């Protein structure tokens, strides 16, 4: 007969297990690591978790994470107001902005359309995106370009197609990020869709 876990330990394992990408074994390892860790380390983690819930909000305009009503990107007067990049998650904003290539604004959907998971357009920040595009047009400064940077998955592609149909009449142009082979990748390991996209996106050698 196995020894039952005491309630605080079982509760923490269960809490870790609910996080994405964390399986039962990993949840147990994390829990026992904290039990053995110095008191200051465990309390620092607990404090950071509480601070995230108490101090971090979603930007009222683009729905990126922020510690103020408007995020740092939306508050930056130097950004290009005519270009908007639509992404699925806040982490996508970090990845794209880190390149320094895109100088415009962002809009975070917080997911992608996935009928099989019961996620329709109404569960994402799509209504706010369409309203944002319409408002910009009414104010005489329509977006010159909206870039659909959803992930190259079935759900991301479906979301991009859905948005393109609804945005094309209110913005200058709707574009989609290019898809293809990653730098350093091998053809033999690429999936069929990636290879098709790579061939479709070919260009002249300069």
78-176 classified as CATH 3.40.50.2000: no
- For 93-131, the pLDDT digits (tens) are 999 999 889 999 999 999 999 999 999 999 999 999 999
Indicate the CATH number for domain 7-55. Answer: 1.10.8.420
pLDDT band at 2 (very low <50, low <70, confident <90, very high): low
Mean pLDDT over each residue of the chain, to the nearest integer:
91
CA angle 96, 65, 42 (to 5 degrees): 110
| Cβ(156)–Cβ(179) below 8 Å | no
Asked whether the predicted pLDDT for residue 180 surpasses 90, the reply is no
- For 131-177, the pLDDT digits (tens) are 999 999 999 999 999 999 999 888 999 999 999 999 988 899 999 98
Tell me what pLDDT residue 199 has.
79
* Strand residues in 37-140 grouped as ranges (E): 57-58, 65-66, 80-87, 104-108
Tell me what pLDDT residue 206 has.
57
Tell me what pLDDT residue 205 has.
65
- CA 90, CA 72: separation in Å to the nearest integer? 13
Asked whether the predicted pLDDT for residue 23 surpasses 60, the reply is yes
- For 48-96, the pLDDT digits (tens) are 999 999 999 999 999 999 999 999 999 999 999 999 999 999 999 999 9
Q: Where are the domains of the chain?
A: 7-55, 78-176
| Cβ(107)–Cβ(62) below 8 Å | yes
pLDDT (mean) for 177-199:
76
Tell me what pLDDT residue 64 has.
98
pLDDT band at 192 (very low <50, low <70, confident <90, very high): confident
Asked whether the predicted pLDDT for residue 25 surpasses 60, the reply is yes
Tell me what pLDDT residue 99 has.
87
* 27 token code pair: 């949840």
Asked whether the predicted pLDDT for residue 24 surpasses 80, the reply is yes
């Amino acid at each position: 007969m196995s020894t039952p876990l005491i309630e605080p330990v079982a509760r923490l394992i269960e809490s870790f297990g609910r996080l994405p990408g964390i399986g039962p074994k990993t949840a147990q390892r994390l829990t026992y690591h904290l039990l053995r860790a110095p008191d200051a380390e465990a309390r620092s983690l607990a404090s950071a978790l509480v601070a995230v819930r108490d101090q971090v909000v979603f930007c009222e305009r683009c729905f990126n994470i922020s510690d103020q009503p408007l995020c740092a990107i939306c508050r930056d007067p130097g950004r290009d107001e005519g270009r908007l990049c639509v992404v699925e998650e806040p982490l996508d904003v970090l990845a794209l902005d880190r390149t320094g290539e895109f100088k415009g604004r962002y809009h975070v959907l917080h997911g992608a359309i996935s009928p099989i998971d019961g996620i329709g357009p109404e569960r994402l920040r799509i209504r706010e995106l369409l309203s944002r595009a319409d408002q910009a047009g009414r104010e005489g400064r329509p977006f010159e370009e909206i870039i659909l940077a959803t992930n190259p998955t079935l759900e991301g592609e479906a979301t991009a197609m859905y948005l393109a149909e609804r945005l094309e009449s209110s913005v200058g142009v709707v574009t989609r990020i290019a898809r293809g082979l990653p730098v350093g990748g091998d053809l033999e390991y690429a999936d069929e869709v990636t290879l098709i996209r790579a061939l479709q996106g070919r260009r002249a050698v300069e």
